[in-house]
Amino acid sequence: MKNLKIITFVLAFCVINIACENDGGDSVIGYKNGALGNLTIVDGSATSIINTTFATLNLEFNVDLAIGNPNSYDLRALYQTVDGDFYGPVTLDAGVTTFPKDYVITGAEVINAFAELTGPSDLMAGDILYFYPAFTLSDGTVVETLTSDGSTNYYAADFNQIDNNTYFLQYAVSCAPQPGTYRVEMHDSYGDGWQTNDANGGNGLQLFLDGVLDQEVGLCNPYVDVPYDCVDESSNGTATLTIPNGVETAVWFYPGDEYGEISFEIYGPDDQLLLAVEAGSDGGPLSVILCAE
């Protein structure tokens, strides 16, 4: 059984503790105390964005402190387009010193914060909006949770699984999806099923319809039971998901790839390839775009 939880936890712990090690040469690698937050979407609040109604949408969440002892934080927003361009980051709230803090941010406020966005028509299906804290430490060092290209700015691939914290939020922009049956071709190069956001199992590829988890697929693994009806294949398997008529939003969420072995392709109702995800890809909302006609 593959079980690297202890090893990866130790790697993750290094980023928040003062340590010093020699790299084999004359230089010494230094570490400083850091900080990470825990962001939680309020129950019943939107988990995705419909482009046409975003201006009147409220995004409700709170920011708490998960790790560290910073002096303050700034709430930042970053916008990624479906074409891979990044806007920002921009600061929405600065110098916050109390935890937790609740937020209600309107779509209009987000649009006004980014010079590149002039209205809802600038939001395209497949875009992603990020929220994250940037912490100021006691020595004045600023620790950004994400980099300007949306990459995580901390160490260890499984950091988001420690104590079930969520260190940043992602809101996928979508349109009303084309109804029909979608096919997912799933693969695991090691041949032991999927280990996604857990060293031995985890969640599958999830489909949220109108903000509610509706369907979940993946390859079964021989180690632990998974919390969904998986396909009983260890290397390659096929699953289908159905989007009915009248659905306003469809968000596909990928929990991640613990060992860099998982890949899959998503095909639309007319057997058109919509997205191919390579092994080792990061978790998060997926750009599966097929708008209703």
Q: pLDDT tens-digit profile of 175-210?
A: 789 999 999 999 999 999 999 999 999 999 999 998
Distances (CA, A) of 154 to 37, 112, 197, 230, 289: 12, 29, 17, 31, 30
Residue 14 predicted with pLDDT over 60: no
Q: Domain 36-173 classified CATH 2.60.40.1940?
A: yes
User: Does the pTM exceed 0.75?
Assistant: no
Token pair, residue 149, equals 């290209």
Q: What residue ranges in 3-47 does DSSP mark as E strands?
A: 20-22, 28-30, 36-41
Is 152 exposed, middle or buried (CB count within 10 Å of its CB: 0-12, 13-18, 19+)?
middle
The backbone torsions φ and ψ at residue 162, rounded to the nearest 5 degrees and listed phi first, read -70, 120
Q: What residue ranges in the chain does DSSP mark as E strands?
A: 20-22, 28-30, 36-41, 48-50, 58-67, 72-80, 86-96, 101-106, 128-136, 142-144, 169-174, 180-188, 205-209, 212-217, 236-243, 250-254, 262-267, 273-277, 284-285
Residue 291 predicted with pLDDT over 60: yes
Q: What is the mean pLDDT of residues 276-283?
A: 95
